[in-house]
Amino acid sequence: MISTNLLKILFILFIAFAIGEIIFTVQRYGKDIFKSKPGSCKILEEKFCSQTRIARTKDIIYIGINLPPGTPIYAPVDGRVSVPTKINQPSPFQGFTVGMNDSNDPTVNYSFRGDVQFSSNLSGVTKAGIIIGTVTNTGAKSFDIYNFVIGIEKPDLSLKRYVSVENRYKILFPKLKL
């Protein structure tokens, strides 16, 4: 059985780590991210929701945007988030990527890619509206233009590939013409 003193030490270490993450984020970006909240698009602050553009590959629609360093990225739905990974293979994407499955429809996958520092304790279940990352300034660009790209896909078994979930884009970005 774990002793009470050991539990106290572990708790103090956890709190110290959490405070360190908060201080690092605020110092690095010099803005108060605690006052920000997701806008109508649920992924970005409201002032950025209307600045998104469509970016496409042969089969998939993506939404791209250039955001200033320090801009928070929010989870649009409740779901399970993957471990952040660096994009190394040749592709139209640069930077880091994280996938998120919708808890209400696990076949739907949100992919967040770009010049983003994702939270170090991100892997696992998260709630809509939680900050999952912040835009950085390393120079990584997706489609040679955007520093942040989101994709919403699900498998199409008849086509044996992933396809865009257009109705989800319309919910998040109703003013965009797909």
Q: What is the pLDDT of residues 2-47, one digit of tens each?
A: 677 777 776 776 675 656 565 544 444 444 445 678 888 999 999 9
- What is the identity of the amino acid at 86? K
CA 128, 30, 96, 165 torsion: positive or negative?
A: positive
Task: Provide the token pair at 128.
Answer: 């809509």
CA 154, 80, 32, 69 torsion: positive or negative?
A: negative
pLDDT tens, residue order, the chain (178 aa) = 567 777 777 677 667 565 656 554 444 444 444 567 888 899 999 999 999 999 988 888 999 999 999 999 999 999 998 888 888 777 888 888 888 999 999 899 999 999 998 876 666 888 999 889 999 998 888 888 999 999 999 999 998 998 999 999 999 988 888 7
**Which pTM value belongs to this model?**
0.76
- What is the identity of the amino acid at 78? D
- Alpha-carbon distance of 178 to 75, in angstroms, equals 22
The CA-based angle 8-11-12, given to 5 degrees, is: 85
- Alpha-carbon distance of 147 to 165, in angstroms, equals 22
